[in-house]
Each structure stands twice: as structure tokens, then as C-alpha cells.
Amino acid sequence: QVQLVESGGGLVQAGGSLRLSCVASGSILEISAMGWYRRTPGKQRELVGTITSGGSTNYADSVKGRFTISRSSAKNTVYLQMNSLKPEDTAVYYCNAQGRTPDTVFGSWGQGTQVTVSS
């Protein structure tokens, strides 16, 4: 089994910063990619940013220049550094990971962490 646990969410004022973390654990042979997504009521989950095992990153246009995604050297942890936060960034943020266990491929989601930005 592969588990993802997010942390770091909270309440901040507009213009502030938060750093989200997601740790993958379990019988993992390889994580090929990890990413962050977010969801607000009435909307589908949308991509925030992704990073591959090779270090390639991809960001939504709405967060480019403000958010930075990174991975630990062991590549089992992904971070999302969020700067210059806006009220529009308020959402539940979810971590995703794709890779392989000794027996199969996997795609897993974390439980989510709430980010609230006040004006």
C-alpha cells in the first residue's frame, strides 16, 4: 500500500506565504511524478503544479511566479511553496503521486489540507 499525507495548510492573510508538504510511504520502488491539485466547492479538482522524477515542473498559469514545487532528494516528499497568496487561492489542496510498488503501478491521493487566504 502507498499512503500520502499532506500538511502545512492554514489561515493566512493575503500576501502571505505557506509551505505545504506531502510525504509518500509504503512499499514504493519508484515515484515517477508527484503533484499538487486543489478543489473548491462546486468545482472539479484542478492542477496546481507537478514535478517528475527528472525534475521537470509544470504549473497552472494562475500560480506561475508565486508557487514553487520541489521534491526531496529521496523523492518521496513533495513541497509546495506558496508566496504572495491571494483569496482566490483558498481551496483544499491535494497531493498526488504516481509510481511503482514491487507488484504493480500505483496512483494515490492524499486526504487534503485546507488553505484559507483572507483579504
Segment-wise mean pLDDT, segments of 10 residues, the chain, 119 residues:
95 98 95 96 91 95 97 90 97 97 96 97
What is the number of residues in the chain? Answer: 119
Q: Are 109 and 5 in contact (CB under 8 A)?
A: no
What is the C-alpha to C-alpha distance for residues 85 and 41, in angstroms, rounded to an integer? 19
Q: What is the DSSP code (8-state) at residue 15?
A: T
pLDDT at position 61 is 97
What pLDDT score was predicted for residue 2? Answer: 94
Q: Report helix, strand or coil for 8.
A: coil
- CB-count burial class (<10 Å; 0-12, 13-18, 19+) for 16: middle
What is the predicted pLDDT for the residue at 43?
A: 85
- Dmax of the chain from CA atoms? 48
Note the pLDDT of residue 1.
84
Q: Do 35 and 96 contact (CB within 8 A), yes or no?
A: yes
Cα separation, 14 vs 2, whole angstroms: 35
> What is the CB neighbour count within 10 angstroms for residue 5?
14
| CA dist., res. 6 & res. 116, Å (int) | 15
Q: What is the pLDDT of residue 32?
A: 94
pLDDT of res. 18:
98
Residue 75: what pLDDT?
79
